[in-house]
Amino acid sequence: MSRPVIAVPGRFTESASALRYRGVVAARKLLEAVWAAGGDPHVLLPADGADAFDWASRLRGVDGVLLPGGGDVNPRRYGGDSTHVSLYDVDELQDETDFTLARYALEHGVPTLAVCRGLHVVNALLGGTLVIDMDVHHRHHVHEVSVDDPADVLGVGNRPITCSCYHHQAIDQVAEGISVLGRAEDGVVEAVSIESAGWAAGIQWHPEDTYDVDPDQLLPFRKLVAEASR
């Protein structure tokens, strides 16, 4: 049986030694996790121009979307301070790519999984806000997330799971259309379902970090692939 194609917007990088110049990249472990779950990840170029955001054309042959982690969303997208000293890797083209892709996917029912920055993008898109810089960062941080998901939207059941995190921002005001399914012990929103014409969910942690040693972490990817296979 053929693997469903999962579109992943690439991330800009100023240094990629194998390429000699600046690059567009995706985290290897993230792509490997999609592959291990049965999908075929395809990295998309964040391009400029009118046809760059013609997602009906660009997603032809695509079965699902994964909005990955990355740099900070420009706070002007949610009414925040765009001059805050903690911000890093803010890029208008990256934001426009992610926001327009997320809007199209949700409106047209393309199965969508949003991870870390991807979750921030969807929350801001739907009218929510972000904590620009958490008092206690969750960089290189492992903690327990309590999941309360009776409908099993995420595919991980209803139980605590141990998760690897890397972020200094988090959801502040939860947008309409987003339902919280899991929080960390300190109250940070870690898992959500997202109102969509199809299946959509988001997680704050990085399941790709430990998917190869913790079977629980492969489950959100399996859920995305299963929904994309429909």
Which entry of 116, 120, 163, 167 is annotated as an active-site residue?
116
SS (H, E, C) 194-225: ECCCCCEEEECCCHHHCCCCCHHHHHHHHHHH
Say what the pLDDT of residue 17 is.
81
Say what the pLDDT of residue 229 is.
97
206 catalytic? Reply is: yes
Beta strand 40-44 with 23-25 is unpaired
Domains of the chain by residue range = 5-229
Say what the pLDDT of residue 19 is.
84
- Taking only the tens of pLDDT, the chain with its 230 residues reads 799 999 999 999 987 788 888 999 999 999 999 999 999 999 999 999 989 999 999 999 999 999 999 999 999 999 999 999 999 999 999 999 999 999 999 999 999 999 999 999 999 999 999 999 999 999 999 999 999 999 999 999 999 999 999 999 999 999 999 999 999 999 999 999 999 999 999 999 999 999 999 999 999 999 999 999 99
Phi, psi of 202 (to 5 degrees): -140, 150
Q: Would you state the structure tokens that stand for residue 188, as one six-digit string?
A: 């940070």
Beta strand 178-184 with 170-171 is unpaired
Say what the pLDDT of residue 20 is.
85
Question: For residues 211 and 17, what is the distance between their CA atoms, to the nearest angstrom?
Answer: 27
Ramachandran area for residue 177 (φ above 0: left; ψ -120 to 50: alpha; else beta): left
Which entry of 120, 165, 208, 227 is annotated as an active-site residue?
208
Alpha-carbon radius of gyration of the chain: 16
Question: For domain 5-229, which architecture applies?
Answer: 3-Layer(aba) Sandwich (3.40)
Which entry of 120, 138, 167, 206 is annotated as an active-site residue?
206
